[in-house]
Amino acid sequence: MSVISRIFGSKKEKLDLSLIEVDMHSHLIPGIDDGSKNMDETIALLAKFQSMGYRKVVTTPHIMSDYYPNTRDIILSGLHDVREMAAKLNLSIEIEAAAEYYFDETLPSKIKEKELLTFGGNHVLVEFAFQGSPTYEDELFFDMLSADYQPVLAHFERYGAFMGNVDKAAEYRDKGVLIQMNLNSLTGHYGPHIKKQAEQLIDKGLVDFVGTDCHRIQHLRLLEDNLHLPYFSKLTSHNLRNTHL
């Protein structure tokens, strides 16, 4: 290292992902949503998570009645097969499963019947449509909290309705909802507006969980290649709840 780079610190600080410890948003169960297509791909993704420093992944297949009508049984049996193969191949990373519940007309009855897949005790990952304004979401969150579920809103920064308005995340948090941000939003992967929105969430201290939302290996490579960006380092001082999972 040259004297100049030592003085001015040109060596870029990279976020060490082992500090995040646990990823809580991904699509790794083979063949049941738009994530991993087969067991080989799943194993390659798990090996990559492990090599990047994660000690655990909680994978969250889509449950979306129109496109991915997955059930508890489908997800848990997929998890069983993935764990079996990972053990056979001596992967040490822990693997759990929950789901990413799309807010559609089938969700309220699942809440009532207490059949949601959770992580970290009672946490439930929920997503809205990316376009349009969510309606009745306050009722949804109220119903979840009343049923002792802890709602976690997936990738807040990606919703068109909230663009330029992270105060909405603060409002949700005041009502007891936790906020998840996608790490790749900080890379610009989803576009400049979403990147800005993610940065604002961090600046205002509104991020409870971060996730890769990994669907394929490119998502992890992109993340790995961008960990020098300054907003990743800011995350380490951010009291993320990932480490408690």
Binding site for Fe ion (CB under 5 A): 100, 213
Comparing every residue's Cβ against Fe ion, the nearest one is: 213
Q: For residues 157 and 121, what is the distance between their CA atoms, to the nearest angstrom?
A: 25
Distance in Å, CB of 2 to Fe ion, minimum: 43
In the bound state with Fe ion, the residue whose beta carbon lies nearer, of 10 and 218, is 218
In the bound state with Fe ion, the residue whose beta carbon lies nearer, of 130 and 136, is 130
Query: What angle separates helix 217-225 from helix 39-51, to the nearest 10 degrees?
Result: 20
In the bound state with Fe ion, the residue whose beta carbon lies nearer, of 191 and 230, is 191
Distance in Å, CB of 214 to Fe ion, minimum: 9
Distance in Å, CB of 4 to Fe ion, minimum: 43
Distance in Å, CB of 118 to Fe ion, minimum: 16
In the bound state with Fe ion, the residue whose beta carbon lies nearer, of 23 and 213, is 213
Cβ contact 108:58 at 8 Å: no
Closest CA to 16 of 243, 245, 244: 243
In the bound state with Fe ion, the residue whose beta carbon lies nearer, of 131 and 237, is 131
